[in-house]
Chain A
Amino acid sequence: MASILRVNMSDLSVKKEPVPDKYKKYAGRALTDAIIFNEVPPKSDPLGPANKLVFAPGLFGGTTAPNGGRISVGAKSPLTGGLKESNSGGQVAHALSKVGLAAVVVEGKPVDANTVYVLDIDENGDGSLMAAPELKGLDNYATAEKMRAFKGDAKIATVTNGPAGEMLMKAAGIAFSDMKDLPNRFAGRGGLGAVMGSKGLKGIAVATGGTKAVEHADKDAFIAAVRKFSNALKEHPVSGQGLPTYGTNVLANIINEAGGYPTRNFSDGRFEGVEGISGETMREITLARGGNVKHGCHTGCVIQCSRYYVHEDGSYWTKGPEYETAWAFGADCGIDSMDGVAALDRRCGELGLDTIEMGNVIAVYMESGKVAFGDVAGALAALEECAKGTETGKILGNGAEATGNAFGVTRIPVVKHQAMPAYDPRPIQGIGVTYATSTQGADHTAGYSITANVLGVGGTVDPLKSEGQAALSQGLQIATAMLDSFGLCIFVAFPVLDIPAAFEAIFEMASAHTGDTWDADALMKLGREAIAFERLFNEGAGFTAADDRIPAYMLTEKLPPHGSVFTVTDAELDSVHDFVAATAAEMGITKPE
């Protein structure tokens, strides 16, 4: 029987309790949503004592389900003001499941602001808080190293918060350790590092030696379904070849070709310097320097899209920048140097800053004229302002909108205050629908319409037109919320969209693991319920339809090369969540106050 660990930062108590009945059917994103929905008043101050920070593995946490070890982190976001789910790879999800924990809920706010705390979770899932003033202000790599040194031989997976989160910056994310113990996987979006910082929590050490949780209702059926899923993941050319060979940054050339590669703060859809920062080039450089170009971010990953980027001498520099990061510090800033991107990525990793938000921050800062587009040294200097917590740094660290407002830039690419990722919504309208309507703010993973709009996966929908985009985004948003609740990496969506056996394998694994009957309808219902929690919370927090819109300038400013503007109508955008009322009624939930 799994438990929830309640960590009270006000009185520094840590208690384990059985999972309450109303949460039992949920895991991952659905569980973080359920807890925040039920326990955090939607008008709470995100950096105050009433907000909670919830870490939850998915339903497949601790099992051998391929790619089932992602973690969800939930809270009211200080950036968007809504119910945020931020998702990460790394080793913590499996570790938590194996010590018998369905969730860790961090509550309250410490009385003593002069120290920071580390939560230590042992093999039995019991926890204790320790004051760790020596960790205050340290970067993620130094923090993780010191936490490991403190534990000696005991093997742990780490959650760490960098100085940006300690300074309550709204672009701060939370780091998780990977398979080589490096704190380089991130729950990046939405400022959850600031929530962690507001609670004085600097790190969580989770013993990796737990042996609980991995009981299946039908072990043989589970193993058979695992094999079926694994075969499908390997068979599909995207998950089986494209991603493991080139990593996510293989997208650079194709999004650039499609004319949707946001360049110099979303002023063009093509970047003349794309080959300097493409996935092909990144791979060539890494191989030439003797680096590793293929590994998984967590145990049980069969897709293996991750890699390390290395210095000229082959030594580790930073996690191989993902497509979003290479774009954010690359094209969006007019930078065409992979080493420049790597330096910016490494610094954000150390400070604990979301690379998508910070790429946008620097691009907006460049548009103000403070730094020239393409100036790597100037971009790094801007990050140093954040590191030092200067007045400028505190503005920059609060995100693209704060930066634009402070420095007089009006072209600010955000929705619900969160900056847009690596696809311009004007020539790729399907992703624009997701940006506008997702409860998460401008988010690409929440409903990855790039699949049908550009990649020919799961059908084709013309990216330049508005037809079909609302339905596409809606279906993907529901499916993604489902995958996030299982702890499944969203890259399984590529085979799932094209190979029926892959989709079947998910509910077969779920049935064999839990003993309940899961089918296609049950999977989609789970996705709808997670989104219903998020939508109703957001309404309670004050969101209206006016928040489900693309920034006005993108309705009229034509983006080269196609000369496109965003044309999906307000009515179409408002149709995306038309299922929520019925879903909420079935769940018996209403808008929280």
Chain B
Amino acid sequence: MRIELALFASLEPYLPDADVGSGRRTRMIDLPDGTTVGEVVARLGLPDQPRICFIDGRGVQESDAIRAGSRLAIFPPVAGG
């Protein structure tokens, strides 16, 4: 299945070599059906620290599976105000 992957802030260097998606920090990637967020994290080799993950704009756990055509966005620990 094809999904849009977005990685921000200090995770940007982990963007894989693939077609750019809707924004500069996004890539269109192919995954087996039913891949979970955690499996994508492992595949990308993201650093071992807390992260914030969204699928189609909703916060998700790493055990959640991704559906075809959706957008997975991952952030390192960020905050502000």
Interface residues of A (CB under 8 A from B): 236-238, 241-243, 245-251, 253-254, 257-259, 270, 274-275, 279-280, 305, 322-324, 444-445, 448, 450-451, 454-457, 460, 462-464, 490-491, 494, 561-562
Are B79 and A322 touching (Cβ within 8 A)?
no
Interface residues of B in 8-51 (CB under 8 A from A): 8-10, 12, 23-25, 49-50
Q: Nearest chain-A residue to B53 (Cβ)?
A: A456
Say whether B73 faces chain A, with CB atoms less than 8 Å apart.
yes
The complex places the Cα of A248 from the Cα of B81 at a distance, in Å, of: 6
Instruction: Identify the 6 closest CB pairs spanning chains A and B, nearest first.
Output: A248-B80, A237-B77, A251-B80, A259-B57, A242-B78, A238-B79
Q: Which of A254, A323, A561 has the most CB of B within 10 A?
A: A254
Instruction: State how many angstroms separate the Cβ of B66 from the closest Cβ of chain A.
Output: 15
B6, B73, B78, B80, most chain A CB atoms within 10 A: B80
**Which residues from chain B contact A464 at a C-beta distance below 8 Å?**
58
B58 to A, closest residue via Cβ:
A464
Smallest Cβ-Cβ distance to B49: which chain A residue: A237
What's the minimum C-beta distance from B37 to chain A, rounded to whole angstroms? 13
Q: Is there an interface contact between B50 and A490, defined as CB atoms closer than 8 Å? A: no
B contacts with A, residue count (CB < 8 A)? 23
A275 vs B26: C-alpha distance when bound (angstroms): 11
Minimum C-beta distance from A526 to chain B (A): 21
Instruction: Point out the residues of chain B lying under 8 angstroms from A236, CB to CB.
Output: 77
Docked complex: B48-81 residues within 8 A CB-CB of A: 49-50, 52, 54, 57-59, 73, 75-81
State whether A254 touches B78 (Cβ < 8 A).
Answer: yes
| B78 near A280: Cβ-Cβ < 8 Å | no
Find out whether the CB atom of B79 lies under 8 angstroms from the CB atom of A561: no
Known: A241-B10, A257-B73, A258-B54. A456 touches B80 (CB 8 A): no
- Give the nearest-CB partner of A461 in chain B: B59
How far, in whole Å, are A490 and B80 apart by their CA atoms in the complex?
10
List the A residue with the shortest CB-CB distance to B12: A280
Chain B neighbourhood of A450, CB < 8 A: 79, 81
* Interchain pairs with CB closer than 8 A, number: 100
The reply to whether B25 and A242 contact each other, CB–CB distance below 8 Å, is: no
Chain B minimum-CB-distance residue to A250: B78
In the complex, the chain B residue whose C-beta lies closest to that of A260 is B57
Chain A neighbourhood of B8, CB < 8 A: 250, 253-254, 280
Q: Report the Cα distance A455→B9, complex, angstroms.
A: 14
Q: Which residues of A contact B58 (CB under 8 A)?
A: 464, 562
A280 near B79: Cβ-Cβ < 8 Å: no
* Residue numbers in B under 8 Å from A249 (CB-CB): 80
Give the complex CA separation of A405 and B17 in angstroms.
Answer: 52
Given the known interface contacts A242-B79, A455-B52, the answer about A460 and B59 at a Cβ–Cβ threshold of 8 Å is yes
- 13 further contact pairs, Cβ within 8 A, besides A251-B80, A257-B57, A562-B57: A236-B77, A242-B9, A242-B78, A254-B8, A270-B57, A275-B24, A275-B25, A322-B81, A450-B81, A455-B52, A455-B79, A462-B59, A562-B58
Complexed CA–CA distance, A494 and B79 (Å): 8
- B9 touching A280, Cβ below 8 Å: yes
Within the complex, the shortest CB–CB distance from A560 to chain B, in Å, comes to 10
Assess whether B77 is in contact with A238, with CB atoms less than 8 Å apart.
Answer: yes
Complex CA gap A248/B80 in Å reads 4
B contact set with A: CB distance below 8 Å = 6, 8-10, 12, 23-25, 49-50, 52, 54, 57-59, 73, 75-81
User: How far, in whole Å, are A251 and B81 apart by their CA atoms in the complex?
Assistant: 8
- Do A254 and B81 touch across chains, with their CB atoms under 8 A apart? no
Partner of B57, one of A274, A280, A561: A561
Docked Cα-Cα span, A462 to B61, in Å, equals 12
- Given contacts A242-B9, A245-B10, A275-B24, whether A257 and B54 have CB atoms under 8 Å apart is yes
Is the CB–CB distance between A253 and B75 below 8 Å?
Answer: yes
Give Cα A450 to B23, complex, Å.
24
Instruction: Assess whether A324 is in contact with B81, with CB atoms less than 8 Å apart.
Output: yes
Distance A451 CA – B54 CA, assembled complex (angstroms): 15
**What's the minimum C-beta distance from B3 to chain A, rounded to whole angstroms?**
14
Bound together, the chains give a CA A585 to CA B6 distance in angstroms of: 52
A246 touches B50 (CB 8 A): no
How distant is the Cα of A324 from the Cα of B16 in the complex, in angstroms? 31
Are B9 and A448 in touch, CB under 8 angstroms? no
Which residues does chain B contribute within 8 Å of A322, judged by CB atoms? Answer: 80-81
A454-B81 CB under 8 A given contacts A253-B8, A561-B57: no
A258 touches B59 (CB 8 A): yes
Contacts of A253 in B (CB 8 A): 8-9, 25, 73, 75
Can you list 14 contacts pairing A with B, beta carbon distance less than 8 Å? A237-B49, A237-B76, A238-B79, A246-B9, A247-B80, A250-B79, A251-B78, A253-B75, A254-B78, A257-B54, A275-B24, A279-B80, A450-B79, A494-B79
Task: Kindly list chain A residues whose C-beta atoms are within 8 Å of the C-beta of B9.
Answer: 242, 245-246, 250, 253, 279-280
- How far is A270 from B59 in the complex, measured between Cα atoms in Å? 16
- Residues of chain B within 8 A of A246, CB atoms compared: 9, 78
What CA separation (Å) do A245 and B9 show in the bound complex? 9
CB closest residue in chain A, given B75:
A254
Question: Could you say which residues of chain A place their CB within 8 Å of the CB of B57?
Answer: 257-259, 270, 561-562
Chain A residue at minimal CB-CB distance from B73: A257
Judge whether B81 and A445 touch: CB under 8 Å. Answer: yes
Chain A residues with Cβ under 8 A from B73's Cβ?
253, 257
The 8 Å CB contact of B50, one of A237, A275, A445, A448, is A237
With the chains together, A259 CA to B75 CA distance in Å? 15
**CA gap between A337 and B52 in the complex, in Å:** 27
Q: Bound state CA distance, A246 and B12, in angstroms?
A: 13
A242-B78, A444-B81 known; A254 and B25 CB under 8 Å? Answer: no
A279 neighbours in B (Cβ, 8 Å): 9, 80
Cβ distance A461 to chain B, nearest Cβ, rounded Å: 10
